[in-house]
């Protein structure tokens, strides 16, 4: 398991899914190379990349002669291949917390479409949008707030007693609204700001600048 | 872990994600009750169901006093809570196969949008659509064929040497085209027909009739 690791990501560092794979690798304290793909061009559609990723998607993790795409699968793979206690766990150890974390991860990837479209990660990583949320966007934000309110305790701490990937992923979804100046309940706002200070997230943000 | 299990699904038995949770429970040989939700009505938006599911989504698994939605999280939970050898594994044991299975599961849930829209599961469970695929629909089908061709061997056998959830999930995606009479490469067609004979899938289909 000591082979080289490379992470293929979008050259703008905008993809939230590339960010999650990047954060996972940083949290595991694994050295890795970054290979930037110009998604505006056709690099990710080239046969060599399709072969590597199977589906042409970003991010793709290459570990030795094994390659894997889909950020949720990458997170699980890293937890299986580089388990605690030697490496930080990316998912909670308890059966029910682990299940809830995976529910949150899957939900954020497949629902709240209007929110993801109207508040793309460009509003976080580049500049806010001047368009107000549509009715669908507002409804999605409300749905997010209701679920997040049930999940996050009054002190705005990590979801399951210690950080896990679902914290970064939920914080990113809420951050779309925070960065844009849309109204976000105080408890959720505090949760996001705490998660955003994590060194792995700050390291990702460092790639945005300059 | 001997508490009662209930699966909340759509009353039409159309949701592919409800089907996957159902198949997972059958494969584990766990007894469970089915609670039908009328998605055309507002049952899944009622506060009690939102509380249970956190997000109002179908399917939701209730196991004792724990409830969980998102089919991929349900599959993982069942594999963690009812592991082999006492129960059949839903995911491969090998690190790399396990990762690839999760990649396929995540990909099928988040990509190929045009194919999922133009060939909804109604074309499998009720009746084919008379509309030809759009250019986007055809492109998605082609993408599916290319990935499936790399994953499935010449004899059209299970993806990873023994059945896993990714087999049923990939077969369902291909079956959208097979059921509709859209052209599907012979090897993939054979794979689908084999997967479709699985007793757990046949049990699901039994709910469609009558």
CB contact under 8 A, B107 and A55: yes
Q: How far apart are the C-alpha atoms of A56 and B146, rounded to whole Å?
A: 11
Contacts of A71 in chain B (CB under 8 A): 106
CA-based R_g, chain A, Å: 17
What is the average pLDDT across A53-80? 97
- State the pLDDT at residue B1: 47
B33/chain A closest Cα distance in angstroms:
21
A108/chain B closest Cα distance in angstroms:
10
Q: How far apart are the C-alpha atoms of A155 and A190, rounded to whole Å?
A: 8
| Of residues B73, B99, B111, nearest to A102 (C-beta) | B73
Q: Is B126:B120 a contact under the CB 8 Å cutoff?
A: no
- State the pLDDT at residue B209: 67
CB contact under 8 A, B73 and A110: no
Nearest C-alpha neighbor of A59 from the set A210, A204, A206 = A204
The enclosing H or E element of B186 equals helix B186-196
Instruction: List chain B residues with pLDDT less than 50.
Output: 1, 210
Contacts of A100 in chain B (CB under 8 A): 68, 73
CB contact under 8 A, A55 and B147: yes
A contact residues 63-92, partner B, Cβ 8 Å cutoff = 66, 68-73, 76-77, 80-81
| Of residues A50, A70, A147, nearest to B102 (C-beta) | A70
Q: Is B109:A17 a contact under the CB 8 Å cutoff?
A: no
Nearest C-alpha neighbor of A144 from the set A191, A180, A112 = A112
- Fill in the DSSP letter of residue A133: P
| Contact residues for B42 (Cβ-Cβ < 8 A; gap 6+) | none
Contacts of A164 in chain B (CB under 8 A): none
- pTM over cut 0.90: yes
B139 near A CB under 8 A? no
Most A-contacting residue of B67, B99, B112, B143 (CB-CB within 10 A), to test interface: B99
Sequence ranges of the domains in chain A: 5-89, 95-198
Q: How far apart are the C-alpha atoms of A151 and A131, rounded to whole Å?
A: 29
Residue in A with minimal Cα distance to B150: A54
pLDDT digit string (tens) for A136-182?
Answer: 999 999 999 999 999 999 999 999 999 999 999 999 999 999 999 99
Contacts of A105 in chain B (CB under 8 A): 73
A55/chain B closest Cα distance in angstroms:
6
The enclosing H or E element of B74 equals helix B71-81
**Which CATH code, of 3.40.50.970, 1.20.1440.120, 1.10.3720.10, 1.20.1050.10, is assigned to A95-198?**
1.20.1050.10
Q: How far apart are the C-alpha atoms of B138 and A80, rounded to whole Å?
A: 36
User: Which strands sit side by side in the sheet containing B5-10, from one edge to the other?
Assistant: B33-37, B5-10, B60-63, B66-69
- Fill in the DSSP letter of residue A44: G
- State the pLDDT at residue B2: 53
Here the ipTM equals: 0.96
Q: Give ∠ CA A174-A68-B28 in degrees, rounded to 5.
A: 85
Residue B203: how many CA atoms within 13 Å on its side-chain side? 13
A105/chain B closest Cα distance in angstroms:
9
Look up tokens 């998912």; give the residue: A91
Contacts of A73 in chain B (CB under 8 A): 99-100, 102-103, 105-106
Q: Is the pLDDT reported for residue A1 higher than 80?
A: no
Helix (H, G, I), strand (E, B) or coil at B203: helix
**Which CATH code, of 3.20.20.60, 3.40.630.30, 3.30.530.20, 3.40.30.10, is assigned to B5-89?**
3.40.30.10
A168: how many CB neighbours lie within 10 A of its CB?
23
B97 near A CB under 8 A? no
pLDDT digit string (tens) for A35-63?
Answer: 998 877 777 778 889 999 999 999 999 99
pLDDT digit string (tens) for A4-28?
Answer: 999 999 999 999 999 999 999 999 9
Q: Is A69:A60 a contact under the CB 8 Å cutoff?
A: yes
């Amino acid at each position: 398991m000591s082979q080289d690791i490379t992470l293929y990501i979008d050259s703008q560092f905008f993809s939230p899914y590339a960010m999650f794979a990047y954060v996972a690798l940083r949290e595991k304290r694994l050295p890795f190379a970054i290979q930037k793909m110009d998604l505006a061009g056709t690099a990710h559609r080239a046969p060599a990349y399709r072969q590597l990723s199977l589906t042409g998607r970003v991010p793709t993790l290459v570990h030795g002669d094994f390659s894997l795409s889909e950020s949720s699968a990458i997170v699980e793979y890293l937890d299986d291949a580089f388990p605690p206690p030697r490496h930080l766990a990316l998912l909670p150890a308890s059966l029910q917390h682990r299940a809830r974390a995976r529910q949150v991860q899957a939900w954020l990837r497949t629902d709240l479409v209007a929110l993801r479209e109207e508040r793309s990660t460009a509003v976080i990583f580049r500049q806010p949008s001047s368009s107000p949320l549509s009715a669908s966007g507002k409804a999605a934000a409300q749905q997010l707030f209701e679920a997040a309110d049930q999940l996050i305790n009054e002190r705005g701490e990590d979801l399951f007693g210690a950080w896990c990937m679902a914290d970064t992923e939920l914080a990113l979804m809420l951050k779309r609204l925070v960065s844009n100046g849309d109204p976000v309940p105080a408890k959720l706002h505090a949760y996001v700001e705490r998660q955003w200070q994590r060194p792995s997230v700050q390291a990702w943000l460092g790639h945005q600048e300059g």
